[in-house]
Structure 1
């Protein structure tokens, strides 16, 4: 395809590389490429802190469940002990009553020289013979009194034993809860220590991410301007169209997505993308980056619109980009939390190229993850706790979040964009934007809130606020049945926002003000 090769060179010169390479051979304005495995968070201590923080957060979540169960057990055993003590008191009263009765009977017997009182005989006799046989009746009366007293004593003994068992069970439950509270406090303290150390690193990371994003914005704008200028010239007949129409459409889709936010899942656009979601949208593909590499025809002479699959191999196929020229690609980068123009990395990071316009091949094996360390996705760490872009819950740099247009509130970028759209629609009905009291919540804030309201607040490190995916609203939205809340219930899902089931009436934790994205 010589024509395409010539076109590739022209595209590289006219579209992407707006300025000549510098002395190092790298195009000026190229993105700093620390968003890829082996370069992102190069300090191994940061990766270890991420792993430690994630482990502590899972531990806190487990402890919270265990403490809840232990509290319920303490309540149950306390109720059982109270019931046992009540039965013991009743049994004690019965024994005392029987003792008084026995004492009175014995005194009466002795007062009558061992002969039964005639009234007692009359009342207790069951036959003429019993009435005439006073000694036999006396024996029966004595036996009856003894049996009643013995039964009362036996009931008392059983009640004492049950009370002891209940007291031991309550102590065991209380001791378990005390131990869990101690372990929870220890884990919280360890989380705070990790947080302090992590945030020292995070401050430097935030500064670096801000600088990268600013450089990326300039580079994205220049690339988009060059591409649209190229298309305009093609339309005017200034150049021979050297790229197939499907390639032009794919590259146009990728360039038009520049600046859109990165999301780890459901990232097929048009408002936000994952790396493989971008290639699905641009080329009509399906599946993950690994799935795409498995069925697309590999090539060794990458052209515009081809896909470049990224590793290294020990991480598996963890990312994919759309080729613009021999050195440049468009990808949704987790570390820069957006669709960006980046340099195609060198070395063993590139696992191969493929051409979506060629016929599909039978599914072939692709590099699979063999590294047992941190997982990577789209150039960022993918922690098992659900972290996105590699940041633990509540420890996301401000530069990785986007403003929602209300005060200083920030959310994950796709959530922020959807919230702004929802707020605008809300304003058309009520004449004012939505009201917010809370959005992204740092880990320290989660710890402080959990300490103040343990029955209401999520366990630190597990709150959707800590992922930038939850808000607390006001201005009427905080009340079930209010016009504002009814509007949100009817319209929020259109924008991806819902009041989760656990927060709705009848589920034990009614929170009409709490809404979550996605």
Structure 2
């Protein structure tokens, strides 16, 4: 009975939870308006359908491998139990043989007649024959129990071997599906080629137009500064423009304090901004084209509120909500004022720097960079950093139950960022690592640089990389080679520029390099995810992901 229960437990107990194929989160949940262009949104919808199909194939293969391991473990346990039962039977038989030999040596023939002839009286005879009967019965019971245990173990072993055989047959069938998945991935690459080509063309055209708009804006701003200099105007400190009754000589108040104008001899009226505002706008103009990252504060990459804070310094709080709460509101915006972005149902989700009555400058999550873009018609208000702070006012909060927005893009906690699908992020939105052509999202790149510096100090050589940002085509090729191991195309953290594959010793769990990373990488925001640890079914010591 104990054997049957133990084996049943081995066969029926669920194994420890294992992850599915690595990098297989839910499909990108962003709505179409969160993408940089309609063509990009269409590509994402097509890619999502493909991902479901390929994920289903990979999931079946992963399940079959797990079932095969479970069945093989059960078969091994059953064989071990059968071996133990054989040992018990052999020991019981040896005990019976030894007993029999001893009796024969002592009494010559262990029969009732010998017992009768050697007995001194009838009671001794009865005791002797009863003892023999009890000894024989005890040995029979022991031997029979051992034989039953052996029989049960043999039956259990046969059942486990059959289970392992069935799992093996299913694995063989799914190996064929594995090949089918590889073939399907190759077909997907062909099917998507036209869509991808159209998307790339649209993105390239959009970026070229954006770059031209950025250059034109930068030229216009520098022309304005040149006109100030030609007129002999030095922008005054902000505090000098807060009280119209005490403006510097020659400056005239406008509808709201914090800005002024001067009438030139030609009759032209020239806008005069505070020195702090001029510096902030100049800083933002110089940052045009730099990448967006969710919490970037410069100088390599920015978030929308990080760009404002970097330009204005201590004059504005660092966070978006605090900027709205304490900066003085105005109704007629001028260059350098802040515009708070909605729409209303999303609450205050972004901020930009006003350039004129039509345009603003912002670190835009959807366009993945610092750009010049149109002022929205549904702005939630304007504020002037040049004025003194006001008593905190209520900050509009989101009333929409959908995904939260930030800096013009949807904020998704799973690593999704920017207005592009996984594997289609423009190179301009990523930062180089200084190693071959490797790139990552800029905050991940900065963290890697710091980690690499510490690593180099320890080992005397820089870290070794085999992979970083991985485009969609490369993900498809890798999946075609290893559909049971590679992430489904369009779901890998490599496709978000948030993952690295390492070499140079770090690819082995037992190495000094891996031990150093396990002890130190987290302090730089990098982790070897749990699904990649030993015993988790997908051991990948070389794979590290950035979590900030």
TM-score (norm 2): 0.62
Aligned residue number for residue 306 of structure 2: 277
Aligned residue number for residue 248 of structure 1: 278
- Pair 1:393-2:422 in alignment: yes
Residue 341 of structure 1: CA displacement? 1.4
- Pair 1:303-2:334 in alignment: yes
Contact 2:423 2:472 in 1 (8 A): yes
Residue by residue over 1:247-267, the C-alpha shift from the partner in whole angstroms, topping out at 9 and shown as x without a partner, is 22321221221121111x221
Task: Give the 3-state SS of the residue equivalent to 2:38 in structure 1.
Answer: coil
Q: Structure 1 residues 475, 151: CA separation in 2 closer, same or farther (over 3 Å shift)?
A: closer
- Pair 1:331-2:371 in alignment: no
Q: Structure 1 residues 409, 352: CA separation in 2 closer, same or farther (over 3 Å shift)?
A: same
Contact 1:53 1:392 in 2 (8 A): no
- Pair 1:218-2:247 in alignment: no
Aligned residue number for residue 77 of structure 1: 74
Aligned residue number for residue 111 of structure 2: 115
Residue by residue over 1:92-130, the C-alpha shift from the partner in whole angstroms, topping out at 9 and shown as x without a partner, is 65677789999999x9xxx97x934859999xx9x9964
Residue 367 of structure 1: CA displacement? 4.5
Residue by residue over 1:129-149, the C-alpha shift from the partner in whole angstroms, topping out at 9 and shown as x without a partner, is 646855434433433333333
Which structure 1 residue ranges, 5 or more long, are not aligned? 1-34
- Pair 1:439-2:468 in alignment: yes
Q: Structure 1 residues 270, 119: CA separation in 2 closer, same or farther (over 3 Å shift)?
A: farther
Contact 1:410 1:439 in 2 (8 A): yes
Q: Structure 1 residues 117, 100: CA separation in 2 closer, same or farther (over 3 Å shift)?
A: farther
Aligned residue number for residue 22 of structure 1: none
Aligned residue number for residue 86 of structure 1: 83
Residue 52 of structure 1: CA displacement? 5.7
Q: Structure 1 residues 451, 222: CA separation in 2 closer, same or farther (over 3 Å shift)?
A: closer
Aligned residue number for residue 30 of structure 1: none
Match of 2:221 among 206, 217, 227: 227
Residue 389 of structure 1: CA displacement? 0.9
Task: Give the 3-state SS of the residue equivalent to 2:380 in structure 1.
Answer: strand
Match of 2:287 among 236, 257, 261: 257
Residue 363 of structure 1: CA displacement? 4.0
438-447 or 270-279, larger mean C-alpha shift: 438-447
Residues in 2 aligned to 1:447 and 1:232: alpha-carbon distance in whole angstroms: 52
Q: Structure 1 residues 78, 441: CA separation in 2 closer, same or farther (over 3 Å shift)?
A: farther
Residue 327 of structure 1: CA displacement? 0.8
Aligned residue number for residue 260 of structure 2: none
Aligned residue number for residue 266 of structure 2: none
Residues in 2 aligned to 1:458 and 1:39: alpha-carbon distance in whole angstroms: 25
Task: Give the 3-state SS of the residue equivalent to 1:325 in structure 2.
Answer: coil
Contact 2:335 2:354 in 1 (8 A): yes
Contact 2:455 2:462 in 1 (8 A): yes
Residue by residue over 1:385-416, the C-alpha shift from the partner in whole angstroms, topping out at 9 and shown as x without a partner, is 31111334334355654666665544435656
Residue 227 of structure 1: CA displacement? 2.5
Residues in 1 aligned to 2:207 and 2:340: alpha-carbon distance in whole angstroms: 23
Residue 233 of structure 1: CA displacement? 4.5
- Pair 1:377-2:411 in alignment: no
Aligned residue number for residue 143 of structure 2: 149
Task: Give the 3-state SS of the residue equivalent to 1:87 in structure 2.
Answer: helix
Residues in 1 aligned to 2:183 and 2:321: alpha-carbon distance in whole angstroms: 40
Task: Give the 3-state SS of the residue equivalent to 1:142 in structure 2.
Answer: helix
Residue 344 of structure 1: CA displacement? 1.5
42-51 or 254-263, larger mean C-alpha shift: 42-51
Aligned residue number for residue 8 of structure 2: none
Residue 243 of structure 1: CA displacement? 1.2
Residues in 2 aligned to 1:362 and 1:204: alpha-carbon distance in whole angstroms: 48
- Pair 1:293-2:290 in alignment: no
Contact 1:297 1:358 in 2 (8 A): yes
Contact 2:292 2:363 in 1 (8 A): yes
Residues in 2 aligned to 1:134 and 1:416: alpha-carbon distance in whole angstroms: 91
Residues in 1 aligned to 2:306 and 2:535: alpha-carbon distance in whole angstroms: 36
Match of 2:373 among 319, 342, 362: 342
Residues in 1 aligned to 2:185 and 2:396: alpha-carbon distance in whole angstroms: 38
Aligned residue number for residue 295 of structure 2: 266
Contact 2:304 2:364 in 1 (8 A): yes
Residues in 2 aligned to 1:438 and 1:92: alpha-carbon distance in whole angstroms: 58
Q: Structure 1 residues 168, 92: CA separation in 2 closer, same or farther (over 3 Å shift)?
A: farther
Which structure 2 residue ranges, 5 or more long, are not aligned? 1-31, 236-271
Contact 2:479 2:487 in 1 (8 A): yes
Match of 1:355 among 384, 396, 414: 384
Contact 2:36 2:420 in 1 (8 A): no
Q: Structure 1 residues 287, 182: CA separation in 2 closer, same or farther (over 3 Å shift)?
A: farther
Q: Structure 1 residues 53, 159: CA separation in 2 closer, same or farther (over 3 Å shift)?
A: same
Q: Structure 1 residues 457, 55: CA separation in 2 closer, same or farther (over 3 Å shift)?
A: closer
Residue 473 of structure 1: CA displacement? 5.8
Residue 368 of structure 1: CA displacement? 0.8
Contact 2:182 2:481 in 1 (8 A): no
Q: Structure 1 residues 379, 164: CA separation in 2 closer, same or farther (over 3 Å shift)?
A: same
